[in-house]
Chain A
Amino acid sequence: DSGVTQTPKHLITATGQRVTLRCSPRSGDLSVYWYQQSLDQGLQFLIQYYNGEERAKGNILERFSAQQFPDLHSELNLSSLELGDSALYFCASGGETGTYGYTFGSGTRLTVV
């Protein structure tokens, strides 16, 4: 157990639908990072939040959005889902101690059918 909790572990949904992925960072971590990993594109950085504020954006589609709540958990919302959105979505936390020792969760596997 890495300390970063992601739910659900698996999600199967139809095209056009909307889903919400949830991440609870490791205790004490203020930053949350979201990544998408598909077979043909590797780990793609989506977005970073720090203590409730958006800090950095990567290749995140307009159909995707995220937020970090006061209790520091984060949610990634994916809407108007397409087949190509099928991927593993990882959440990571950390970075406050001045190292690059970010801790990743076990991921949510999204399958769009």
Chain B
Amino acid sequence: LAKTTQPISMDSYEGQEVNITCSHNNIATNDYITWYQQFPSQGPRFIIQGYKTKVTNEVASLFIPADRKSSTLSLPRVSLSDTAVYYCLVGPLRIGATNKLIFGTGTLLAVQP
């Protein structure tokens, strides 16, 4: 799997938009980019996934530039409940095959009132 680099931590205030960037310089042609959210003492939760350009769902947006060497998770108008660790993962999608879903250190987002 492609190695990813994220900021260790970020601070924000309620109501602000938060952008977390992940670098993945060695991303392969068949790799997808996926983001997970983890609250303390809970299992990670899938947020969003994309291959190129922009993907948006009810929770977040994912921006991927043309070279795909980085991606940005955008959380609109964060609230205190968005305080969590956010993980960026990069890898191929292989149905039923060997998939070592390897998590990096993630980004701890702290949202303050």
Most chain-A Cβ atoms within 10 A of its Cβ — which of B43, B91, B106?
A: B43
Bound state CA distance, A106 and B45, in angstroms? 10
Q: Are B46 and A56 in contact (CB under 8 A)?
A: no
- The proximity string for B residues 40-78 relative to A, scoring 1 for CB distances below 8 Å and 0 otherwise, is 011111100100000000000000000000000000000
- The proximity string for B residues 7-33 relative to A, scoring 1 for CB distances below 8 Å and 0 otherwise, is 000000000000000000000000010
Q: Which residues of B contact A (CB under 8 A)?
A: 32, 34, 38, 41-46, 49, 87, 89, 91, 93-106
Residues of A within 8 A of B102 (CB): 45, 58
B34 to chain A, nearest CB (A): 4
Residues of A within 8 A of B105 (CB): 42
Residues of A within 8 A of B34 (CB): 99-101
Residues of A within 8 A of B100 (CB): 45, 48, 56, 58
Q: Are A95 and B96 in contact (CB under 8 A)?
A: yes
Which B-chain residue is minimally distant from A104 (CB atoms)?
A: B43
Total A-B contacts with CB atoms under 8 angstroms apart: 78
Evaluate whether A42 and B106 lie within 8 angstroms (CB atoms) in the complex, with A50-B96, A95-B95, A101-B49 already known. Answer: yes
Residues of B within 8 A of A104 (CB): 43-45
A-B contact pairs, 9 of them (CB 8 A): A35-B103, A42-B104, A43-B44, A43-B103, A97-B95, A100-B32, A100-B34, A101-B46, A107-B41
Residues of A within 8 A of B95 (CB): 95-98
Bound state CA distance, A31 and B94, in angstroms? 12
Which B-chain residue is minimally distant from A6 (CB atoms)?
A: B43
Q: Are A56 and B41 in contact (CB under 8 A)?
A: no
Q: Are B101 and A100 in contact (CB under 8 A)?
A: yes
Residues of B within 8 A of A2 (CB): 43, 45
- The proximity string for A residues 8-32 relative to B, scoring 1 for CB distances below 8 Å and 0 otherwise, is 0000000000000000000000110
